[in-house]
Structure 1
Amino acid sequence: MSDPAPRLDPVQLGAYFALIEVAGLLRHAVEQQLREAGNLSYVQFQLLARLGLDAPDGSARMTDLADGVVYSRSGLTYQAGLLEEAGLVVRAPAADDERGVTVTITDAGRALLEQVLPGHIEVVNSLLLQPLSPNDVETLARLLTPVRDHMRSAPPRSAAPRRRRGRS
């Protein structure tokens, strides 16, 4: 006789569904705010934020950005192209690898980021953080950090080696 299919107990199932629902509701509200405030998609905002807030020189390699925002290389290339057409970023060959591409935020990109960021912060505060005490926020961060790290321990698809066509 085969082993029964794995199951989640009611508490585990409730935690999973609550996390998925919270993430979905928050993302929907954030996407709406970003569209209204700056005509940006969520991924475009993530790219500008990673370049404008996380990268000391405002630049990053496309592969690193794809891994950071957990987005496909081709999808990120398309989104970066839209941002470049709008004058919000520039793309150039990476200095250390001619096959790599570096993306750099422009002054216009920084200005748009500054324009949408206050509303973004307000949405995150009002929907996610306001119902929690400061202690609860610390607990949430402490609980989610090892889960995120565990999930990141396997490289995202964007970081997996590409298969070469015509080879077995």
Structure 2
Amino acid sequence: MPDVTVPPALPPEFGVYFALLEVSALVQHGVEGQLRRDGGLSFVQFQILAMCGEDPSSPKSMTDLADRLVHSKSGLTYQVGQLAKAGLVERVPSPHDDRAVNVTLSAKGAALLERVLPGHVAVVREVLVDALDDVDRDELTRLLGMVLRHMRSQPRRSARRASPPS
């Protein structure tokens, strides 16, 4: 029997939704303290640095970052501005679009990422990974990957039009 309570007005399959929301919130809460303590970073700032660090030779566009982070463009602009002010990222004009800006990880940002990652990995293991054996971890990764592919198959958030007010 699942530990997740679903309000009676909702279908029972919403248990997966409530469980995912709670797990996500608890993981985020668990890592936020470590990121602040070890790097002076917010969760979103860490995500930006981590994405820029995936392939440091390939700058990330603001649109790509916003779509992956599911963050507003204005909020992302602010966070990238804070990281740039701290010397952790650099904003560079896009070679493909005069209006676009790309973000790259600076050497200082790479060093900070390298410093916070061991503690980050330890917290993620403690609050999430250690609850699963290898088979369950692989299965959860597979299932979440299916959901992610489904969600990413929809038009990008940046390409969607806002709904007109009712």
The answer to whether TM tops 0.5 is: yes
Q: Do the aligned residues in 2 keep the contact of 1:58 with 1:105 (CA within 8 Å)? A: no
Give the aligned partner of residue 14 of structure 1.
15
Tell me which amino acid in the other structure corresponds to 1:8.
P
Using the alignment, how far apart are the partners of 1:117 and 1:104 within structure 2? 18
The correspondence of residues 1-168 of structure 1 with structure 2, limited to 5 A, is: 7-9=10-12, 12-52=13-53, 54-57=54-57, 59-160=59-160
- Secondary structure, counterpart of 1:46 in structure 2: helix
Question: What's the CA shift for 1:68?
Answer: 1.4
Using the alignment, how far apart are the partners of 2:63 and 2:15 within structure 1? 35
Question: What's the CA shift for 1:16?
Answer: 2.4
- Secondary structure, counterpart of 1:98 in structure 2: coil
Question: What's the CA shift for 1:8?
Answer: 1.1
- Secondary structure, counterpart of 2:131 in structure 1: coil
1:27-75 alpha-carbon deviations (Å, 9 max, x no partner): 00111111111010111000100111x2240521111111111111111
Identity %: 52
Question: What's the CA shift for 1:162?
Answer: 8.2
- Secondary structure, counterpart of 1:47 in structure 2: helix
Q: Do the aligned residues in 2 keep the contact of 1:26 with 1:128 (CA within 8 Å)? A: yes
- Secondary structure, counterpart of 1:91 in structure 2: strand
- Secondary structure, counterpart of 1:97 in structure 2: coil
**Structure 1 spans left out of the alignment, 5+ residues:** 1-5, 164-168
Bigger radius of gyration: 1
Tell me which amino acid in the other structure corresponds to 1:107.
A
1:116-163 alpha-carbon deviations (Å, 9 max, x no partner): 111110111111111110000010011111111112222343343689
* RMSD between aligned residues: 1.9
Q: Do the aligned residues in 1 keep the contact of 2:80 with 2:89 (CA within 8 Å)? A: yes
**Structure 2 spans left out of the alignment, 5+ residues:** 1-8
Tell me which amino acid in the other structure corresponds to 2:11.
L
Structure 1 runs of 4+ with >6 Å offset: none
Q: Do the aligned residues in 1 keep the contact of 2:56 with 2:105 (CA within 8 Å)? A: no
Q: Do the aligned residues in 2 keep the contact of 1:70 with 1:156 (CA within 8 Å)? A: no
Using the alignment, how far apart are the partners of 2:58 and 2:153 within structure 1? 26
